[in-house]
Amino acid sequence: MLRFNRCHHIAIICSDLEQSKCFYTAVLGFSILREIYRPDSDSYKVDLALNGTYMIELFSFPNPPKRVSRPEATGLRHIAFEVDNLEESLSFLDQAQIQSEPIRMDKATNKRFTFIFDPDDLPIELYEK
């Protein structure tokens, strides 16, 4: 059996890199580790960390196709982040004018969760600790 140590990173292709950088840093609290231009693909790559841990790569490519988000489609469904308090998190997001879905209950764990969406409509789950 293959044994993973951890998830190394999540790669996200953005339609507007500056807008996505702002969302992931100013709203979600990631920090930029490095940003590079890759002339071979005419693209930028931005490495983001959460609490000092490298986690997300944001990419820009010329004219990427739009991601299918709804109805549900095959492929990556969403990314999820644990929060200590859902109400506090949603209050902050509301002040930042980020809308969320209604809070739901995970029937398997009895934990509360909701979804927000990044600038390209990628679902982001907030799962209460």
Q: Which domain holds residue 124?
A: 77-129
* pTM (two decimals): 0.89
Q: Do residue 58 and residue 81 come from a single domain?
A: no
Report pLDDT for 47. Answer: 98
- Asked if the structure places residue 11 within a domain, the reply is yes
Preceding omega of 123 cis (within 30 degrees of 0)? no
* Count of domains observed in the chain: 2
Q: Do residue 81 and residue 128 come from a single domain?
A: yes
Report pLDDT for 76. Answer: 80
Q: Mean pLDDT over residues 58-68, rounded?
A: 88
Name the average pLDDT for the chain.
93
Query: How far is it, in rounded angstroms, from Cα 38 to Cα 45?
Result: 7
Report pLDDT for 38. Answer: 95
- Asked if the structure places residue 108 within a domain, the reply is yes
Q: Mean pLDDT over residues 72-87, rounded?
A: 88
Report pLDDT for 46. Answer: 98
User: Is it the case that residue 98 has pLDDT exceeding 80?
Assistant: yes
- Asked if the structure places residue 82 within a domain, the reply is yes
- Asked if the structure places residue 88 within a domain, the reply is yes
Question: Which CATH number is 11's domain given?
Answer: 3.10.180.10
Report pLDDT for 75. Answer: 78
Q: Do residue 11 and residue 40 come from a single domain?
A: yes
